[in-house]
Amino acid sequence: MFDLFSKFGEIKEKASKVKDDLISKKFTSTDTIHGISISTNGKKDVLSISLSDSFCTLTKSEQEKILLETLQRALNQSETYAISSFKEIVPNIPGFNIFG
């Protein structure tokens, strides 16, 4: 029983380090054809959006579509990294599929 509690303490300490890493990790998705770049961190916070002058020549619906697609790619990178980071520290407990 005590061993189980010590494992939880160890997991909590490692999770805190992963959380700090997620804040500092940066992911960027770029659509070079349309001149847009979006950066996020591992917590899925949007850090920056960069648009080229040629992006403004697109129609509103084209802009919305490209922004959405580029943002989704950046967020997917963030999420994939976060999940893989936490999978490394959380033990595999039968019956508990934490990460789907």
Q: 3-7, 13-17, 76-80 — which is least confidently predicted?
A: 3-7
Q: Is residue 41 predicted with pLDDT exceeding 70?
A: yes
pTM: 0.76
Q: pLDDT value at position 83?
A: 85
For residues 8 and 62, the model is more confident at 62
Instruction: Specify the DSSP class assigned to residue 100.
Output: -
Q: What is the pLDDT of residue 88?
A: 80
- Which pLDDT score, from 0 to 100, does residue 94 have? 62
Please state, in angstroms and rounded to a whole number, the distance separating the CA atoms of residues 72 and 91: 29
Q: Across all residues in the chain, what is the average pLDDT?
A: 85
